Chain A
């Protein structure tokens, strides 16, 4: 079993839809949770960074962490074609040397 599981998709939604992206993990020591967005032929860009359980909102993006279920989510409201990218979840126990990445979910938002 991988430490971090993420459905690679691809996921295709119409413009304006609410997108839900998810990751599960097995290591209960993970405390820091991140979502990165990666456009084609570019490096990953940090979108959200949360510590422990709870919700964090930034504009159209909401990150949720449920440590009891070892499950994290990223919601995108009013999705736009410019949101089309690969979204990677990442997590660590507190040392950035041990960060683990999900496989990434390819998202396409169609106009």
Chain B
């Protein structure tokens, strides 16, 4: 099946640091990638939709200057949490999708802990 690789799986860093998370679609070219945030025991919260070669579309309430998304190729999207603070600590998950009626396939997530 489709494989999405997300890296790193866990990162701990100091407040004020910027953290970059990579999401790679290994089995197919992903025209669209998605970034989610998940709090403990809660469902997925869509943060933004990333389209190759164009600007990401952010959901209401998500600061685009805080969460920078780059989708430079059909197989790689990155999420950079800029000047991270403890309230940004969460589980971040990416997914990729091919043709529009196909399901999303998820990475294994990144646990971000800001001290």
Contact = CB atoms under 8 A, between A and B. Distances in A.
Given A96-B101, A97-B49, A43 B111 contact: no
Interface in B1-21: 1, 4, 6
B107 A43 contact: yes
A88 B103 contact: no
A6 B49 CA distance: 24
A52 to B, nearest CB: 12
Contacts of A102: 43
Interface string A77-111: 00000000000101010111101011110100000
B101 A104 contact: no
B100 A94 contact: yes
A35 to B, nearest CB: 10
A6 B91 CA distance: 21
Contacts of A36: 106
Contacts of B91: 41
Contacts of A104: 42-43
A42 interface: yes
B108 to A, nearest CB: 5
B11 to A, nearest CB: 14
Nearest to A34: B103
Contact of A101 (B1, B44, B107, B109): B44
A43 B109 contact: yes
A44 B32 contact: no
Residue of B42, B43, B100, B111 with highest tally of chain A CB at under 10 A: B43
Interface in B89-115: 91, 93, 95, 97, 100-109, 111
Contacts of A34: 103
Contact of A103 (B43, B49, B100, B104): B43
Q: Top 8 nearest A-B pairs by Cβ distance?
A: A43-B106, A96-B97, A103-B43, A43-B108, A43-B109, A44-B106, A95-B100, A94-B101
